[in-house]
Amino acid sequence: MATVTIDGKTITVEDGTLILDAARSLGIEIPTFCYQAKLSRLASCRLCLVEIEGQKKLQPSCATPVLDGMVIHTQSPAVVTARRAMLEFLLANHPLDCPVCDKGGECELQDKVFAFGPREGRFTEWKRTFHSKDYVLSPVIIKNANRCVQCQRCVRICEEIVGASALGSIGRGVKTEETSFMRAWLNCDHCGNCIEVCPVGSLMSLPYRYKARPWDLKEVDTVCPYCGTGCTLTVGLRDGQLLRVRSRRQTGVNEETLCVKGRFGLDFVVHEDRIKRPMIRKNDVLVPVSWREVSNYLKERLLPLKGKGDSVGGLLSAQMTNEEIYTFQKLFREVFGSNNIDSSSRWPVASEGDFYPALLDLISTGIYRGNLREFLSADTLLVAGSNLTDENPVTEYAVRYTLSVLPLHLFILSSRPSRLDKAAKGVKRYIPGREVRILASVLKEVMKAHEEDLKRTFGDVGEVIQGEVIEDDFVRALSSRLLGSRRISILVGTDLLRSPLAVDAFRVISNLIKVLRAAGKECGLQFLFDRSNQMGAIDMGAFPRDGGMGFGSLLEASRDGRISFLYVLGEDPVLNYPDGRLVREALSQVGLLLVQDAFMTETARMAHVVLPGATFAEKDGTFTSNEGRVQRVRAFYNPPFEARRDLEIISHIASLLGVDLETDPSSIFAEIKDLISPYRGVDYEGLGDNGLFTGHEKGVDKGLHPVAIRDVALEGWGFITGNHLYHSGYLSQRSRLLGSLIDAPFLEIGKEGADSLGVREGDSVKVRRNGQSIELKVRVKEGLPEGLLFIPENFGSLSINNLMEKGVYPFPVEVRKNG
C-alpha cells in the first residue's frame, strides 16, 4: 500500500495504482486525452501532467504509478500552464471547423479547451492538412484526418479489444494519420468502437453523419435485442426517429463497446416487412381486418379449446421479454391447461425428453450467475462449442481483454475456427458429436488424479466413463492445466446445444464441474446463447415440462392432425427449424395457426390468423443475459400502424376467454420475483444502469452420471450452421445496414477440402441433399476440420433448412463445383 497526498488530500491505495486513478478516487478530476481505461498506456498527449514534489519535470498521471509518500499537485501554476500549452499544441493544426463537425457539442477537445484554455491561439503558420474532403473508410466509418489528435485510442481499441487490427498510425511526426492500410476501404468488423472512442470528430459514423446535434437528441437506455451477451445500448432519437446507437462508459457488460449488430443493426425496426394490421385467411388469402373482427373470430375459434390441454401448443421466441414469456406460459398452462410450450433458437437434435432435463441439470449444477468479467478472472477458461468471434462478439472482447491483463489460460474446443484461436493455449477442432469423447477423456484424466477426493465426496463412483478415451496434446494440456488451476470457468456455446449427443456432452461437463469442485477448485459455467433472452426463457420455464410436448413433438403431432391450435410468437420455424419441409407439412395440418409477429415471416404466410406484434423498440420489460443479469428493455417507439405490444395481445387473447392477465411489466415482474427463485433478490424498480444479477438456486447434488462414449459418423461432406458476425437470422436479415455487409449466404470450406473439390475462393458450388439443392459461393476458411462445411443459418433467400433433416447434425450433403 502507498499513502500519497494529492492537492492536500491524503489517500492510501494499492501499490502500482496510477496517480490518475488515485486522484479520481479522491474526486479530483485530471483531464486526459490519450488515456482510456482498459487500453494499453500510451502517455502521448501530456494533458494529464501533474507536479510531483521533488521531481523537476511534470509527469503524466495516466502512466505514473504512485510511490509511498508522494506529494502531488494537479492545480499548481506549472501544471495549469503546461496543460494549456499542450492544448495549444493540439489546436495548432486543428481545423477548428466545429460548426460543421458531427462531434461538436460532445467533443472532448472542445470541452477541454473550454475548461482549461487557451482562449487564443498564437500559431499563425499554415496548418497541416491531409485532405480537403472527408473520406469513407467503410459502410459505417467516415474519416477526417485533419481533426485527429493522434491519441491512438482507435488503433488500440481495434487491436487490443476488438482484435481486428484494422487501423494504424501511418507516417511520422506531424504528418501521422490514424487510418487504414493505404487509406483503403476497411475489411473489418464494422463494429464502430473506433468511432465511439474517438474524442474528436475524426472517425465518424457514416449513417449518423450530419443527422443531428448531440443536444437535439433524446436518449433512451435499453438492451441489445440480438445476442445473449446482453449489451446495454443508448439510442439517440431526433423527432422520434432513431439516429444512432452508442454505448456508455463503464456501463453494463459491454463497457463502451458494442458489436456491429448492436451499434448499426437496429434499423430492422422500421423494415417494410412490418405487419400493419391483423389478418385472417379468407379463401386462402390473408386479408387485413380490424382488431374487432379478429377478436370475434378468435373468440369463436378459441373458446371451445379452453382447458383442452394436449391439442394446443405454443412456440415463442427467446427474444421476447421475461414478462411476455411468463405471461404466454401462464396463458397456456392456466387458461388452455397445456404444457406444450417451447422456445429455442437451437432446436435440439437429441430427443426433447432427454435434452431439457440434462440441460436443466447442467444449469443447476454449474451455472455462474454473475459478472462476466469476474467470471473470466480465472486461471483457466474453456470455450466449448462456439465461434465466439461471430456469435457473441462482445463476450469475445471481454475474453481478449482479460487475456491481456491476467494470466488466464484459454482452451478452445470448437468446430469452427475463430480469431481467438491464436490467443489460446490449446485449440481442438471436432465434428459435432465427437466432442463427448474429447471432454470425457479430459474428465477421466482429472478423475484419475483425484481418486481420493472423489471417494470422499461421492463414495464409490464406479465406471463413470464407458468407452475408449483419447490421449492427444489437447486432452493432455487441458487436463494438466485443470489440475494445476484453482479457478476454472467454462463457456458453453450453442454448438453444444445442437450436438446430436448434447445430452452426453451436458452430462460430461456437469460431471467435470462436480469433480473439479470435489477436488477443491472453483468451477462454473456460463452459456453463450445467441438470443437476447434465452437465459430468461429457460428461467421462465418456457420449455416442455410436466409431460408437455416440445416443438419437435408438436410438429409430429401436428402432422398427424392432433393439434387444433398452435400459437407462434415471434418465431419463424418455417425458415429456421431443421427440416423446413417437415415444418411446412406439419403446420398445414394445424387446425388454427396463429402467428403473432412484428414481421411478415414465412411462418406468418402460412397462418390462419396473423396479429401485428411489436419489436423490442416498442416495449418495456426485462431480458436476462447470459450472465444471469436482468436488465431493462425500454420502449423508444410506439408500435406502428395497428401493431400492439405483445403483452397486450397475449392478455387480450386471455380476456377473450374470460381470463384477466396482467399487462403491466412491473407487476408481472413482481409475480416472477415471487415464484421463480433466482429472481427473488431482483427488484424491477432497482434495475438501474447496470441491471441486477439473478441468484443461484440451491442445486441438489445427485452425484456423477455415467456416460457411455459414442461417436457420430460422418461420411463424405456434412455441413454445420450458426451465426455470422453480420447475420444471425430473423432480425439481422431485416437490417438494411447489416444486409449491405453480407448480402448472401456462403459456404465455408477448409483449405484441403477446397483443393479436393478443385474450387477456390469465390467459385460457385452446388450443395445437394434429397433432391433439393442450393448454389453458394465458396469462402475458403483455414482450420475447418475435414469433411465439415459451414453455411450461415436463417437466410430467408435460401431456406437452407430444406437441406436439413431432423435428428442429424452435421447435415450430410453432396457438394460439387458448379459449371
Partner 1 sequence: MKDLREKIREISKRYPDMRSAIMPALYLAQEKYGYLTREAMEEVAEILGIPPVAVYEVATFYTMYNKEPVGKYHIQVCTNVSCMLLGAETLVDHLRKRLGIDVGETTKDGLFTLSTVECLGSCGTAPVMQINDTYYEDLTKEKVDEIIKTLKEEAS
**E strands of 29-166, at which residues?**
49-52, 59-60, 71-73, 135-136, 141-143
Asked if 151 is part of the footprint of ligand SF4 (rule: CB under 6 A), the reply reads yes
Asked if 198 is part of the footprint of ligand SF4 (rule: CB under 6 A), the reply reads yes
Considering the complex, what minimum distance in angstroms separates the CB of residue 367 from ligand SF4? 19
Asked if 651 is part of the footprint of ligand SF4 (rule: CB under 6 A), the reply reads no
Considering the complex, what minimum distance in angstroms separates the CB of residue 187 from partner 1? 10
Task: Return the residue of 93, 152, 339, 340 that touches ligand SF4, per CB under 6 A.
Answer: 152
Contact yes or no for 619/635 (Cβ under 8 A)? yes
Asked if 123 is part of the footprint of partner 1 (rule: CB under 8 A), the reply reads no
Return the number of the residue (161 or 747) whose C-beta is nearest ligand SF4.
161
Please state the φ and ψ torsions of residue 322, each to the nearest 5 degrees: -55, -40
Task: Return the residue of 16, 69, 118, 171 that touches partner 1, per CB under 8 A.
Answer: 171
Considering the complex, what minimum distance in angstroms separates the CB of residue 414 from partner 1? 20
Return the number of the residue (107 or 582) whose C-beta is nearest ligand SF4.
107
CA distance 646 to 570: 9
Task: Return the residue of 6, 142, 258, 325 that touches ligand SF4, per CB under 6 A.
Answer: 258
Asked if 170 is part of the footprint of partner 1 (rule: CB under 8 A), the reply reads yes
Considering the complex, what minimum distance in angstroms separates the CB of residue 48 from ligand FES? 3
Asked if 165 is part of the footprint of partner 1 (rule: CB under 8 A), the reply reads yes
**370-409 mask for ligand SF4 (x: CB under 6 A)?**
----------------------xxx---------------
Considering the complex, what minimum distance in angstroms separates the CB of residue 330 from ligand FES? 54
Residues with Cβ within 8 Å of residue 31, at least 6 apart in sequence: 47, 48, 83, 112, 115, 116
Contact yes or no for 556/248 (Cβ under 8 A)? no
Considering the complex, what minimum distance in angstroms separates the CB of residue 234 from ligand FES? 25
Report DSSP state, residue 367. B
Q: Is 307 left (phi over 0), alpha (psi -120 to 50) or beta?
A: left
Place of cell 475456427: 417
Residues with Cβ within 8 Å of residue 493, at least 6 apart in sequence: 383, 384, 385, 386, 387, 388, 391, 414, 527, 528
Contact yes or no for 340/548 (Cβ under 8 A)? yes
Asked if 153 is part of the footprint of ligand SF4 (rule: CB under 6 A), the reply reads yes
Other beta carbons within 10 Å of 186:
22
Residue 693, beta-bridge partner list: 629
Spell out a b/e string for 774-808, using b for 16 or more CB atoms within 10 Å of the CB, else e: bebebebbeebbebbbbbbbbbbebbbbbbbbeeb
Spell out a b/e string for 251-267, using b for 16 or more CB atoms within 10 Å of the CB, else e: bbbbbbbbbbbbbbbbb
Return the number of the residue (34 or 158) whose C-beta is nearest ligand FES.
34
Alpha helices for 572-693 (secondary structure H): 573-576, 580-587, 602-606, 646-656, 665-675
Closest to 524 (Cα-Cα) out of 561, 490, 474, 558: 490
Return the number of the residue (128 or 308) whose C-beta is nearest partner 1.
128
The number of residues in the chain equals 819
Choose from ligand SF4, partner 1, ligand FES, none: what does 62 bind? Cβ within 5-8 Å by kind: ligand FES
Task: Return the residue of 130, 226, 543, 790 that touches ligand SF4, per CB under 6 A.
Answer: 226
Asked if 17 is part of the footprint of ligand SF4 (rule: CB under 6 A), the reply reads no
Asked if 600 is part of the footprint of ligand SF4 (rule: CB under 6 A), the reply reads no
Considering the complex, what minimum distance in angstroms separates the CB of residue 422 from partner 1? 9
Closest to 434 (Cα-Cα) out of 712, 716, 808, 785: 712
Return the number of the residue (391 or 421) whose C-beta is nearest ligand SF4.
391
Residues with Cβ within 8 Å of residue 766, at least 6 apart in sequence: 773, 774, 775, 815, 816, 817, 818
Task: Return the residue of 168, 591, 640, 796 that touches partner 1, per CB under 8 A.
Answer: 168
Choose from ligand FES, partner 1, ligand SF4, none: what does 171 bind? Cβ within 5-8 Å by kind: partner 1
Q: Which helix (H) or strand (E) holds 314?
A: strand 312-316
Other beta carbons within 10 Å of 758:
9
Task: Return the residue of 182, 240, 462, 819 that touches partner 1, per CB under 8 A.
Answer: 182
Considering the complex, what minimum distance in angstroms separates the CB of residue 154 from ligand FES? 14
Closest to 435 (Cα-Cα) out of 814, 809, 781: 809
Return the number of the residue (202 or 343) whose C-beta is nearest ligand FES.
202
Choose from ligand SF4, partner 1, ligand FES, none: what does 181 bind? Cβ within 5-8 Å by kind: partner 1
Asked if 262 is part of the footprint of ligand SF4 (rule: CB under 6 A), the reply reads yes
Residues with Cβ within 8 Å of residue 77, at least 6 apart in sequence: none
Choose from partner 1, ligand FES, ligand SF4, none: what does 182 bind? Cβ within 5-8 Å by kind: partner 1
Choose from ligand FES, partner 1, ligand SF4, none: what does 720 bind? Cβ within 5-8 Å by kind: none
Considering the complex, what minimum distance in angstroms separates the CB of residue 468 from ligand SF4? 39
CA 333 to chain centroid, in Å, comes to 31
Asked if 166 is part of the footprint of partner 1 (rule: CB under 8 A), the reply reads yes
Considering the complex, what minimum distance in angstroms separates the CB of residue 16 from ligand FES? 17
Please state the φ and ψ torsions of residue 117, each to the nearest 5 degrees: 80, -175
Considering the complex, what minimum distance in angstroms separates the CB of residue 814 from ligand FES? 59
Choose from ligand FES, partner 1, ligand SF4, none: what does 32 bind? Cβ within 5-8 Å by kind: ligand FES
Q: Is 108 exposed, middle or buried (0-12, 13-18, 19+ CB in 10 A)?
A: middle
Choose from partner 1, ligand FES, ligand SF4, none: what does 172 bind? Cβ within 5-8 Å by kind: partner 1
SS3 of 662-704 = CCCHHHHHHHHHHHCHHHCCCCHHHCCCCCEECCCCCCCCCCC
Asked if 188 is part of the footprint of ligand SF4 (rule: CB under 6 A), the reply reads yes
Return the number of the residue (262 or 613) whose C-beta is nearest ligand SF4.
262
Contact yes or no for 787/718 (Cβ under 8 A)? yes
CA distance 412 to 430: 11
Return the number of the residue (59 or 180) whose C-beta is nearest partner 1.
180
What is the contact surface with partner 1 in residues (CB under 8 A)? 159, 165-172, 180-182
What is the contact surface with ligand SF4 in residues (CB under 6 A)? 141, 148-154, 157-158, 162, 164, 166-167, 178, 186, 188-194, 197-200, 202-203, 224, 226-227, 229-231, 254, 258-259, 261-262, 392-394
